Amino acid sequence: MFDSTDRRILDILQHDGEAPVADIAERVGLSTSPCWRRIKRMEESGLIARRVVLVDRHQANVPMTIFVSVRAPRHSLDWSEAFRQVIGEFPEIVEAYRLAGETEYLLRLVVASMDLYDQVYKRLSARLEFRTVSASISMEELKFTTAVPLDYLNWSA
């Protein structure tokens, strides 16, 4: 079970995964060792899945975000598994979701240009059959965060 101190620690780490343990401990009113043990417990429980570095897409020359809606040609486990395998081989596909509703899959791609998106589309189409594929180009990023809301976790105090 986690408590309100764990929540504050987690909130700090979600916004700065490289925050020194001593700084986190000071901000939440703990000494360094107990704070470190709490972080380790959250990692071992899987609540903290991993720590990553967020790369600035513009500096990495992949400023364009494209959302691709996919409808499968048929509902089969074979096609779904092949789709999962193929999209895993495309670094430009940074997120993929299976949905309920008319759109069956939603992909988020980051690319340098429309020409490069077209190349990805052609490579993807050469590997898999689709019923429909529709792309939407993001004009402006209004909100982006990797932090998840912590209000729904069962806290003990």
CA distance 149 to 96: 21
Q: Which fold has domain 4-45?
A: Arc Repressor Mutant, subunit A (1.10.10)
Looking at 3.30.70.920, 3.40.50.1370, 3.20.20.70, 3.40.50.1980, the CATH number of the domain 64-137 comes to 3.30.70.920
Query: What pLDDT, on the 0 to 100 scale, is given for residue 82?
Result: 96
Query: What pLDDT, on the 0 to 100 scale, is given for residue 153?
Result: 84
Contact criterion met (CB below 8 Å) for 116 and 110: no
Q: Given pLDDT bands bounded at 50, 70 and 90, which one contains residue 157?
A: low
The residue type at 94:
V
3-state helix, strand, coil in the chain (%, to 5): 40, 20, 45
- Taking only the tens place, the pLDDT of each residue in 104-146 is 999 999 999 999 999 999 999 999 999 999 999 999 999 999 9
- Taking only the tens place, the pLDDT of each residue in 48-72 is 999 999 999 999 999 999 999 999 9
Domain segments of the chain as ranges: 4-45, 64-137
CA distance 26 to 28: 6
Strands (E) in 63-104, as ranges, are 64-71, 93-98
Query: What pLDDT, on the 0 to 100 scale, is given for residue 13?
Result: 97
Query: What pLDDT, on the 0 to 100 scale, is given for residue 11?
Result: 95
Query: What pLDDT, on the 0 to 100 scale, is given for residue 154?
Result: 80
Chain-centre distance for alpha carbon 135:
19
Tokens representing 92? Answer: 């430009």
Q: What is the distance in angstroms between the CA of the first residue and the CA of the last residue of the chain?
A: 10
